[in-house]
Amino acid sequence: MLSSLLGGRKEQEDQIKSAGRLPPGQSLTQKFPVLHYGPIPPFNPATWDFRVFGLVEEEKRWTWDEFNQLSRRKMALDIHCVTRWSKFDTVWEGVHLKDLIDQGFIKPRPEAKFIMQHCEYGFTVNVPIEVAVSGVFLMATHFDGKPLDPDHGYPLRGVAGALPGQHSEDDRYFWKGGKWLRGLEFMTSDRPGFWEQAGYSMTANVWKEERFGW
């Protein structure tokens, strides 16, 4: 039984690799590994809020109920962890930053070029604005048709990945989406988040294998 399961996984990995969807140094997983620093934070919908601040025309703050009234998207993404596993054709649902900008909820100032994701316990992740508004990034509340599990970032997490079957300069390793997301800060210049301060890449392009900053 074990050999047949491994054979099935290896066969699927070979097919994905031949299609050009497996980045260098990565291996397919059929599971969904859990990796994060620190404990899972508690969630209270009565006190939770989401804040947008920094280089925007007007700061915004949404309660949990208000956030769930914003327009939503479903997106299919291949996700690639810097620890070398990849999971394909994952389906997420949530709020897309470009929609909030297009609908006038958020108005970035012209000098804003980067975004810092602010998460529970002070955890931070940096991405360029062009990545955050692209088709490879989503602020997700649901995975595979269900609310996120707590260990995968419930109630809200950033999701950074790659469009299935496509290569883009915007494709990022999975850590570039922060779990337990609480806000976005718009910035004029880039600065390192939590893992970037520990030596991980500022840019994290999966096809260039930008894992570390040294």
Instruction: Tell whether the model's pLDDT for residue 125 goes beyond 70.
Output: yes
Q: How many structural domains compose the chain?
A: 1
Is 203 part of any domain? no
Q: Which residue has the tokens 């989503």?
A: 138
Chain segment 146-198, per-residue pLDDT in tens: 999 999 999 999 999 999 989 999 999 999 999 999 999 999 999 999 999 99
Is 10 part of any domain? no
Q: Domain holding 189: CATH number?
A: 3.90.420.10
Is 12 part of any domain? no
Q: Which residue has the tokens 């919908």?
A: 45
Is 171 part of any domain? yes
Q: State the residue range of the domain holding 138.
A: 41-197
Instruction: Tell whether the model's pLDDT for residue 2 goes beyond 60.
Output: no
Is 148 part of any domain? yes
Q: Which residue has the tokens 């890449």?
A: 201
Is 100 part of any domain? yes
| Stated pTM of the model | 0.92
Beta-bridge partner residues of 174: none
Is 65 part of any domain? yes
pLDDT band of 87, cuts 50, 70, 90: very high
